[in-house]
Amino acid sequence: MLPEIGRVMDEIAALRDALQRRVDRVKILDALWGAAVREPGNPDREEFLTERAAVRRTLREIERVVETRLVARGVRFPEGGLEHGLVDFPTWFQGRTVHLCWQRREPKIIAWHEVDGGFKGRRPLTPAQARLMGQGREQGN
């Protein structure tokens, strides 16, 4: 599943880069013209409106990709996950829910953390722990 998640995260990163360029252009036009950029006859009005509409479309596309290609598969984003390419995979370990933690471009899952641990609480995933992840939940342990 990681190769597909990696491709999705790369796609999201590209969308975020495009979004930032458009937001920057809107900010520049707004700084140059202020409210006058919205007035008919302003030479930059169409570009301003086009870029604003593109910002909204890109935000919706990012949300769609996240929802349909990640969240629907059980992937969770920690705080700052989109910005830093982080995803969590909820699992069961020693009677509690924990998160396997993966960062974009890591070759495999190499860390985990407690539900409230976040990235700061990442711990190396040992082979012994990896074998135990996900076990016991079906028995209600």
* Res 139 pLDDT > 80: no
- Secondary structure class of 140 (helix, strand, coil): coil
Tell me: the pLDDT tens digits for 28-54? 999 999 999 999 999 999 999 999 999
pLDDT value of position 137: 63
Task: Check if the beta carbon of residue 76 is closer than 8 Å to that of residue 92.
Answer: no
Tell me: the pLDDT tens digits for 68-118? 999 999 999 888 888 899 999 999 999 999 999 999 999 999 999 999 998
pLDDT band at 135 (very low <50, low <70, confident <90, very high): confident
Within 10 Å of residue 87's Cβ, how many Cβ atoms? 25
The domain spans of the chain are 2-73, 81-139
Q: Which residues contact 126 (CB under 8 A, 6 or more apart)?
A: none
Q: Which residues contact 12 (CB under 8 A, 6 or more apart)?
A: 62, 65, 66, 82
Local structure of residue 76 (DSSP, 8 states): B
Q: Of 14 and 79, which is predicted with more confidence? A: 14
